[in-house]
């Protein structure tokens, strides 16, 4: 374990149907880098993942969205899976939660279908992002530039396409957080 992210608190906004690897692998990488992670969800107690073509494991919810204060977190992770972000983008509280990070210019990392929350929150206008190919048109229609790359960083937003990109995604997210840590520490 390294401690280059020691003291940082990362919110992981998720619902039932998150792509299991896209939540668990970044969570593990962030914790190994010294950050604390908190699963924030509209659901109480636990949420269930999606693993390839079937339901996956259940994980505990640390903070119910209605009780979560975005000021308590230094950065935000938006895992993918089709079900998870599609459910979240229909919930005004979830959209407001993401918008807070945007307004405060805090780092946001989104993978696969996770950028749907960036579209819904108005974050992609004028930004270059990547995602699962099926939401390319949504990103373009929201004013973003979509590219087919393993990982893309545009300002405080890191995006990636799919589970195969997780090693590069995790590395770039941790690097961005480490670069910004002094500025983030207790804004």
100 is catalytic: no
Helix (H, G, I), strand (E, B) or coil at 127: coil
Instruction: Spell out the residues 6+ positions from residue 127 whose beta carbon is closer than 8 angstroms to its own.
Output: 118, 144, 145, 154, 155, 157
**From its phi and psi, is residue 175 left (phi > 0), alpha (psi between -120 and 50) or beta?**
alpha
89, 106, 113, 161: the catalytic one is 113
Choice among 33, 112, 135, 176 that is catalytic: 112
| Residues forming the active site | 112-113
């Amino acid at each position: 374990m390294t401690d280059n992210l020691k003291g940082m608190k990362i919110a992981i906004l998720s619902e039932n149907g998150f792509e299991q690897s896209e939540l668990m692998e970044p969570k593990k990488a962030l914790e190994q880098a010294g950050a604390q992670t908190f699963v924030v969800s509209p659901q109480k107690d636990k949420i269930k993942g999606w693993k390839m073509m079937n339901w996956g494991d259940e994980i505990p919810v640390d903070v119910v969205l209605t009780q979560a204060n975005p000021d308590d977190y230094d950065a935000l992770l938006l895992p993918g899976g089709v079900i998870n972000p599609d459910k979240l983008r229909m919930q005004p509280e979830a959209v407001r939660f993401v918008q807070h990070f945007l307004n405060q210019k805090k780092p946001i990392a989104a993978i696969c279908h996770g950028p749907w929350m960036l579209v819904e929150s108005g974050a992609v206008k004028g930004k270059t992002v990547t995602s699962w190919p099926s939401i390319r048109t949504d990103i373009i229609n929201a004013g973003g530039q979509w590219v087919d790359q393993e990982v893309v960083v545009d300002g405080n937003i890191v995006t990636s396409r799919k589970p195969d990109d997780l090693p590069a995604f995790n590395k770039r997210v941790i690097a961005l957080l480490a670069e910004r840590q002094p500025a983030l520490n207790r804004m």
